[in-house]
Amino acid sequence: MNNKIITKTVLVLSLVSFFGDISSELLYPIMPLYLKSIGMGAVFIGVLEGLADAIAGLSKTYFGKLSDRSGRRMPFVWLGYVLSSFSKAGIGLILNPIWVLLMRSSDRLGKGIRTASRDAMLSDEATPEAKGAVFGFHRSLDTAGAFLGPILALIYLHFHPAQYRQLFIYALFPAFFVVIALSFAKEKKHEAKKESGSAFWKSLTYWQVASPEYRRVLSLVLIFTLMNSSDMFLLLRVKEVTNSDFQSIAIYIFYNFIYAASSYKMGMLSDRIGMKKVFLMGLVFFVITYAGMGIAERKEVFYLLFFFYGLFAAATEGIAKAWVSNLCLREDLATAIGFQATAQSFAAMMASLMAGAIWYFAGPQYVFLMASFVTFIVIILFYREKKLA
C-alpha cells in the first residue's frame, strides 16, 4: 500500500465502509431467499429494488448539493450510516410487504445521504493522477466487508437452516464499529458554495452546467445501467437452477472475494493506462457474465461467471466515480458525484422493473441475454468516443 496515496482519511473511510458492508452483506444474499420464504417473488423484488434505487438516487444528488452549499461533509456521512444501520435490522421485525418496503427504502435513503459527501472526501484526498487508486482501495475494503458478511450468514444458516429473521438483529453488531470508525474521520476545509435558489432543483439540473466530457461519459454509463438490474436477480437465478441456499450464498461470497482482491489493482491500472480502457474491459466482463447466466445450468459454470462478474465490478464501480470526479469543478464535487448517482439509480430502478417483468412474462434467460446484447452495443459506442481518455 502506497502511504502517499492512501492517507489516514482514505483508510478511515474505507474501514467505515468495510464494517458497513459486513452489516449490509450479512443480509443482502439472504434477502431474496427471505422474501421468497414469506411469499414475495421476482416481481416484488423488482419493485422493491427499483423503488429503493429511486429513493437513494434522489437523495444522493440533493444531499450532495447541500454538502457543497454548506461546505461540510461529515454530518451527512454520520447521518447516512446511522440511518442505514437501524433500517436494516428493522426489515426482519414485521412480516409485511409494506413494512419491508419502508425499511428497505430507509436503508437506501441513508445510503443516499452519505454517498456523495463520502466520495467527495475521498476525491479531496487524491490528485487527479491517483483517483483510480484511491477509489479502488476504498472499493477493496468496502467489498472485503461484502466478502465477510455472507460468510457469517452462511455459518449461521448452516446451524439454523431457513431461519432468516434473527440475522437482521445480528447485522446491528458490525454497525457499532461503523460509529467507532467514523469518530476518527476528519474532513478537509471546503469553502461553501454561495448560490441562490432551491437546492433540490439545482441538484437535479446540474446536467445543464456540467462539462461536455461529463455529459458524454454519463450518457453512455446510463445506457449500460438500464441493463444492469439488481444482483438479486443473479442470486435468484442461481437459487432457481441449483435449488440451494448454500450455493447461492457461496457463489456470492466468491464474487465479493474476486471484487475485493482486484479493485485496488484495477484502480491503479486505470491511473496508468486510462479509465476508459479499464471501464471498457469491465463491460466486456459483464457481457460474458450475463450471456453465460442466460444459459448456465451447472454450479461450476456459475462460479466461473461470477469470477468475471467480480472483475467487472472492480473495473467499473470505483473507476466510474473517479472518472467523473475528474470532469467537474471542485466546488461542485459532491453535486457532480450525487447527480451521477441519481441518474444511475433511476436507470437501475428501470432496469430492475424491466428485469422483474421480463423474468415473469418471458423467463430469466431473456433478462440476461438482452442485457448482454445491449451492453455489447454500449462497448462499441464507448470505443468510438475518441475524445474520452
Q: Pick the more confident residue, 348 or 141.
A: 141
Per-residue pLDDT for 387 more than 70?
no
The CA distance from 109 to 94, in Å, is: 20
Highest mean pLDDT among 236-245, 343-352, 354-363: 354-363
The alpha carbon of residue 195 and the mean position of all alpha carbons in its chain are separated, in whole angstroms, by 31
Q: Summarize the confidence of residues 331-354 as an average pLDDT.
A: 84
Per-residue pLDDT for 52 more than 90?
no
Q: Which residues contact 367 (CB under 8 A, 6 or more apart)?
A: 229, 233, 294, 355, 358, 359
Q: Give φ, ψ of 3 to 5 degrees.
A: -65, -20
Q: Summarize the confidence of residues 194-211 as an average pLDDT.
A: 76
Q: Which residues contact 359 (CB under 8 A, 6 or more apart)?
A: 42, 43, 46, 233, 367
Per-residue pLDDT for 192 more than 90?
no
Position 196 scores a pLDDT of 66
pLDDT per residue as tens digits for the range 264-297: 999 999 999 988 899 999 999 999 999 999 888 8
pLDDT per residue as tens digits for the range 104-137: 888 888 988 998 899 989 988 888 788 889 999 9
Position 54 scores a pLDDT of 72
Position 295 scores a pLDDT of 86
Q: What is the mean pLDDT of the chain?
A: 84
pLDDT per residue as tens digits for the range 16-38: 999 988 888 788 767 777 777 77
pLDDT per residue as tens digits for the range 147-162: 898 888 878 888 887 7
Q: Summarize the confidence of residues 187-199 as an average pLDDT.
A: 72
Position 14 scores a pLDDT of 93
Position 19 scores a pLDDT of 92
Instruction: Say if CB 23 and CB 181 are below 8 A apart.
Output: no
Per-residue pLDDT for 1 more than 70?
no
- Binned at pLDDT 50, 70 and 90, residue 48 comes out as confident
- Sorted by where each starts, the structural domains of the chain and their CATH numbers stand as 8-181+208-384 (1.20.1250.20)
pLDDT per residue as tens digits for the range 62-97: 888 888 888 889 999 999 988 887 787 777 777 777
Q: Pick the more confident residue, 157 or 199.
A: 157
Torsion angle in degrees (nearest 10) through CA of 144, 149, 155, 158: -130
pTM score: 0.80
Q: Summarize the confidence of residues 44-72 as an average pLDDT.
A: 79
3-state DSSP of 317-343: HHHHHHHHHCCCCHHHHHHHHHHHHHH
Per-residue pLDDT for 99 more than 90?
no
What percent of the chain is modeled with pLDDT above 70? 94
Q: Summarize the confidence of residues 340-360 as an average pLDDT.
A: 85
Q: Pick the more confident residue, 345 or 255.
A: 255
